[in-house]
A = this chain, B = another copy of it.
């Protein structure tokens, strides 16, 4: 076994606090990473607080991991000690179902093993995530990080990046298309960058008048304050594709109405309450409402290469791990531009 130090929630009501634990003994196909940076995803808050079904404790969150390879098992071929590598939302899956074989491990029929809170098959325990000093992952679920990427700004690509890249690719967003992005948070700011890089005309919808200038700086051709009904009306029936990154309750029909015939609105935010979808919104112009969930391992690697080629990374605010509970509070209020990333060097202060 390998000793680890991390930050964990002991119960749904607990704040995160230092936690000593052990990870499995490295297997021949395993890569051992020293974690350098870990992004702070809104999911981390939901799971730490048991807001998405019953969580397992202690909960060490974190699935936007960038680190340095410390050692590799004898069967590992793609990594060596010293490489920069990354781990996203999954650390394993069944590998034999149709979805796994087609490179869509996130839809594994047995359920992918999530990076934290999932079943640790080797130990019989639970998986612990990236709010820690190291992690051990089968090389098939480890990503290579191009050297031209800033490792701290690359960390959130592993969730916020792939979650927006994948649907924009799947729905073939490109030149000549009008694309709407709803919400300017961790996901939304990446969606704006990707949609712009793919060549689309990008319109950002935000509830915050204060984000208009930032939206344009990030790449949006136009920014619409969604509370302005007259302005919203001007965009009716005009979008080929809309990516909705909002997890708070919101009027989905207002956005469906912006789609042209056969247009698609893809939801990646996860509002806890059902969306109230008028059937008339869909039948009216034969519109489509879709969903998307992270992306497969191969597509995640493709996304990292795309970011390296196009100089794309996240806009981040670097924090010490001792500030994680304050960061959770600010995240819940939407007070971050646009992703917190933990500098894991700060963890040394807690080492005994």
Does A176 lie at the interface of the complex (its beta carbon under 8 Å from any beta carbon of B)? Answer: no
Please name all residues of chain B whose beta carbon is closer than 8 Å to the beta carbon of A107 when the two chains form the complex.
261, 284-286
- In Å, the complex CA distance between A109 and B107 comes to 39
Minimum CB distance partner of A163 in chain B: B283
Contact string against B for A residues 264-304, beta-carbon threshold 8 Å, 1 for contact and 0 otherwise: 10011111001111111111111111111100000000000
Q: Name which residue of chain B comes closest to A237, CB basis.
A: B109
**A146 → chain B, closest Cβ, in Å?**
27
Q: Quick one: which of A217-246 are within 8 Å of B by CB?
A: 237
Given A276-B274, A282-B267; A290-B291 close (CB under 8 Å) = no
Complex CA–CA separation, A321 to B284 (angstroms) = 31
Chain A residues touching B, majority SS: mixed
* A102 to chain B: closest residue by CB: B261
Q: Does residue A144 face the partner (Cβ distance < 8 Å to B)?
A: no
Total interface residues on A, CB under 8 Å, equals 34
Docked-complex contact A286 and B290, CB < 8 angstroms = yes
A284 and B293 contact, CB distance less than 8 A: yes
Contact status B290-A288, CB under 8 Å: yes
Q: Which of B261, B278, B283, B288 contacts A288 (CB 8 A)?
A: B288
Cβ of A27 under 8 Å from chain B: no
Among A237, A267, A275, A284, the most chain B Cβ lie within 10 Å of the Cβ of A275
A99 an interface residue at 8 Å Cβ cutoff? yes
* Contact in complex: B285, A290 (CB < 8 Å): no
Within 8 Å CB of A264, what residues of B? 288
A104 CB–B CB distance under 8 Å: yes
Q: How far is the CA of A99 from the CA of B260 in the complex (A)?
A: 10
CB atoms of B267 and A279 under 8 A apart: yes
Nearest CB of chain B from residue A163's CB, rounded to whole Å: 9
Residues of B near A99 (CB, < 8 A) are 261
Max chain B Cβ within 10 angstroms of own Cβ: one of A276, A277, A278, A291: A291
CB within 8 Å for A290 and B293 given contacts A267-B282, A279-B275:
no
A/B interface sample: 16 pairs, CB < 8 A: A107-B285, A107-B286, A170-B286, A267-B279, A267-B282, A270-B279, A274-B277, A274-B279, A275-B278, A275-B279, A276-B276, A276-B277, A281-B291, A283-B291, A286-B290, A288-B291
